[in-house]
Amino acid sequence: MPTPTGPRITRRILLGISAGIAAYKSAQLARLLRQAGFEVRVVMTEGAQAFIAPLTLQALTGEAVRTSLLDPEAEAGMGHIELARWADLVLIAPATADLMARLAAGMADDLLTTLCLASDAEKVMAPAMNQAMWGHPATQRNARRLAEDGWRLLGPDNGDQACGDVGPGRMLEPEAIMDALLSMAPDAAPATPTAPREAEGLTVVITAGPTREPLDPVRYLSNHSSGKMGFALAAAAAALGARVRLISGPVTLPTPEGVERLDVETAREMHEVAQRLAGECDLFIGCAAVVDYRAEAAAEHKIKKVEGEEGLILRLVKNPDIIAAIAARPDRPYVVGFAAETRDLEAYARDKLTRKGLDMIVANDVSGTETGFGSDRNAALLLWRDGDEVGQVDLPPQPKSELALAVVRQALARLDAADTT
């Protein structure tokens, strides 16, 4: 993807909506954009209007919604060219497989595709479609072509789909799209003071997402971690001026702007990369949901059901304890761990803080639907060692982007206090 020649302030967003069931999320996205202070104008394809009414978007943005290239009143003033020139950023959410194919081919057969060709604004899309359509070679080829043409793709996300399938293809949640837009350029949000560069000159290493431990060539052990919290932490640390190196398990999230990403699959791979980077950082945040056990030996071929046998016995062995190993290093950085619990949150967090030799721990309850795995909101209990005492603060439920900023700032404050004692 071409590198921008310089920063550009994004205040005017053209929101394109194409014909997917995820169009209902575009109303919330438009509301969030307006709340953040952006000017928003909406263009809808003909098919998108079958999923959400233009009047809804007009009410949310305060602007007339454009739906037709051949609108006589608008075209009297070359309306599509005017729209193309007006926008600082073109955001298409959802972007269907059909729209991606038409844009990749350079077609201009409706208002949305026409103004995309006519605009030199930054361009972002959030794909949304059935998992089989997303995985089809033609769609993947189109995605690569669009990236080469300068489009930035956000997602898609992995999970349940409206058709009943499960897999990659669902549109990112509006809050996650907002986080990604703001992380693309810290100065993009209008009427917002520049954030203090509290982490300038520091190097931060963060682990995020799940790990996968193979059982055979087609099956693995894993968990429900989406990686959203770890990626939000990386975006927050980068926005505060740190050099950020993100060790990510298998997730479908876009890399935050200014963050160096290293992808891994298994706990042992994550352990090896973490140990390699830990000696070169000031702050280490272990946010990944590392699978505790792996198969003693993964099967070379797919494990088959055996007629007459009602069960399968697997021998599992412990994976390395990544965060404890970092905390035990003689050249250790300031170490922050995470504790995802379903009960007795404070008791388990205090035990983990002491037992693993951490400097600080972020404990959250993942048993609920509002702040559990995959949610765009979270709450946390922060505990840290303060001499012989343990300090603590409760952070209430809030968007993960805001929670991440609070966590990073608290860690930086504790790191500064430790350096001055």
Domains and CATH numbers, the chain: 12-184 (3.40.50.1950), 203-301+314-419 (3.40.50.10300)
Q: Is 137 exposed, middle or buried (0-12, 13-18, 19+ CB in 10 A)?
A: exposed
**Residues of each annotated binding site for CTP:** 286-288, 292, 302, 320-323, 338, 352, 356
Dmax over CA atoms of the chain, in Å, equals: 76
pLDDT confidence of residue 191: 38
Answer whether 293's CB lies under 8 Å from 316's CB: yes
Q: pTM of the predicted model, to two decimals?
A: 0.57
Pairing of strands 151-153, 122-127: parallel
The 3-state DSSP class for residue 46 equals: coil
List 340's β-bridge partners, or say none: 364
Cα–Cα distance for residue pair 248/355, rounded to 1 Å: 25
pLDDT confidence of residue 2: 33
- Overall average pLDDT of the 313-340 stretch: 94
- Overall average pLDDT of the 292-317 stretch: 89
Q: How many CA atoms, within 13 angstroms, populate the side-chain half-sphere of residue 313?
A: 2
Cα–Cα distance for residue pair 312/31, rounded to 1 Å: 51
**Residues of each annotated binding site:** 286-288, 292, 302, 320-323, 338, 352, 356
pLDDT in tens, 2-34: 333 333 445 789 999 998 889 999 999 998 888
Confidence of residue 130 (pLDDT cuts 50, 70, 90): confident
In the predicted structure, residue 344 carries a pLDDT above the cut 90: no
- Overall average pLDDT of the 301-309 stretch: 86
The answer to whether the bond into 397 is cis (omega within 30° of 0) is no
Q: Is 163 a catalytic residue?
A: yes
Q: DSSP character for 127? A: E
Which among 78, 163, 317, 328 is annotated as catalytic?
A: 163
pLDDT confidence of residue 183: 64
pLDDT confidence of residue 272: 97
Answer whether 54's CB lies under 8 Å from 44's CB: yes
188-194 long-range Cβ contacts below 8 angstroms, 24+ apart: 188/9, 188/10, 189/36, 189/37, 190/9, 190/11, 190/36, 190/37, 190/38, 191/37, 192/37
Answer whether 416's CB lies under 8 Å from 196's CB: no
In the predicted structure, residue 360 carries a pLDDT above the cut 90: yes
Confidence of residue 210 (pLDDT cuts 50, 70, 90): very high
> Rounded mean pLDDT of the chain?
84
Answer whether 392's CB lies under 8 Å from 383's CB: yes
Q: At a CB cut-off of 8 Å and minimum separation 6, what does 15 contact? A: 26, 29, 30, 33, 40, 41, 42, 43, 57, 61, 91, 92, 93
Q: At a CB cut-off of 8 Å and minimum separation 6, what does 133 contact? A: 97, 139, 169
Single-letter amino acid, residue 154: L
